[in-house]
Each structure stands twice: as C-alpha cells, then as structure tokens.
C-alpha cells in the first residue's frame, strides 16, 4: 500500500524550476522609495497639505539649515585653536547670514506657539515621520496631521504667504 501511494504522488519539481518560481513571486511586488523626499513633501504629494502650508514649512526648514542648528556629526577643525577645548560655538563665530537665519527661525517658531512648535520641529526640521513624531509626543494616531496643518497655517501667516 505504501508503494502505491508513493507512485500516485506527482513527481517533485527540480530545484531550478523552484528558483524560477520564487524569482517571479518576488518580482511581482516592487516599491520605489525616494530617500530625498521629506515628510513634508510626502504630505503635499498626497494632498494632505496645500501649497501654502508646504511653502511655509520649507521656509522654516531653510532657515533651520542656514542657521546650522542641526547637531554636528563630525569634528569642526576650524574651531579647534591652541588651548581651545572645542566648546560650543560662540555668537561671534557665526556669520551674519547664520545669525539672521537663526533669528528668523526663532521668530517663526515663536509665532507658531509653544504647543505647535514641537510638531513643526520634528516633522519639518528633524525630518521625522508622522507616526514617529506622534509616538514621541504621546499623541494618538492621526492627531499629528491636524496639529501640523494648524502649525503650518500659523507659520504661513507669519511668513505672509498667500
């Protein structure tokens, strides 16, 4: 009886045929990710924020970058001087452009308000995703988009964007 059951089973495929089938299954679903796209650009591309809000966020991000407020990941060799411990950058070491950008950034964040500046910084400046920002702020899911939209509206009013 055992020999009869074995004879009725279909013969197994050879190894090459299995590999071709597996390759076809993997090729069916591919995803293209633009690693240079910001979370703000992602929201705009899907119609979740409008052009005015996007422009306001980009202006804030530009000021953030011009002021060089992001944490440094490498050693600043130009700041190392004899006897200098390489401490924090002093205001006199900053250029006029950096100081102006820092002032504009601080004014914009103040115009947005204390409760809205957290989500602005996380999404626009730090480039966090919405889910990560909501989790870090302790907010429920999908609350961040509404709060971000309000913050971007205030920011657009501050920048006088129409």
CA–CA distance from 112 to each of 109, 124, 125, 129, 152 (Å)?
5, 13, 14, 20, 8
- The CA-based angle 61-59-36, given to 5 degrees, is 50
- The pLDDT, as a whole number, for residue 36 is 61
Distance of CA 5 to the CA centre of its chain: 59
Integer Cα distance of 111 and 159 in angstroms: 10
| Segments making up each domain of the chain, as ranges | 39-71+94-162
pLDDT of residue 71: 75
94 or 51, greater pLDDT = 51
What average pLDDT does this structure show over 77-96?
Answer: 58
Non-local CB neighbours of 93 within 8 Å, separated by 6+ positions: 79
Q: What is the pTM of this model?
A: 0.66
pLDDT in tens, 141-154: 889 999 999 999 99
- When comparing pLDDT for 132 and 76, which is higher? 132
Q: State how far the Cα of 76 lies from the Cα of 72, in Å rounded to an integer.
A: 8
List, for residues 43-66, the tens digit of each pLDDT value.
998 899 999 999 999 999 999 999
Q: Are 109 and 155 in contact (CB under 8 A)?
A: no
Contacts of 118 (CB under 8 A, 6+ apart): 137
Angle, to 10 degrees, between the axis of helix 51-66 and the axis of helix 96-112? 140
């Amino acid at each position: 009886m055992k020999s009869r059951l074995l004879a009725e089973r279909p013969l197994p495929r050879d190894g090459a045929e299995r590999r071709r089938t597996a390759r076809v299954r993997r090729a069916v679903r591919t995803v293209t990710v633009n690693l240079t796209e910001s979370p703000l650009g992602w929201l705009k591309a899907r119609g979740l924020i409008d052009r005015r809000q996007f422009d306001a966020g980009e202006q804030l991000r530009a000021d953030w970058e011009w002021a060089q407020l992001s944490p440094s990941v490498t050693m600043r060799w130009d700041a190392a001087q004899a006897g200098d411990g390489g401490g924090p950058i002093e205001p006199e070491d900053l250029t006029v452009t950096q100081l102006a950008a820092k002032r504009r950034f601080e004014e914009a964040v103040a115009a947005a308000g204390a409760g809205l500046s957290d989500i602005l910084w996380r999404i626009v400046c730090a480039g966090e995703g919405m889910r990560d920002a909501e989790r870090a702020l302790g907010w429920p899911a999908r609350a961040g988009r509404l709060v971000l939209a309000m913050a971007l509206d205030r920011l657009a009013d501050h920048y006088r964007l129409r």
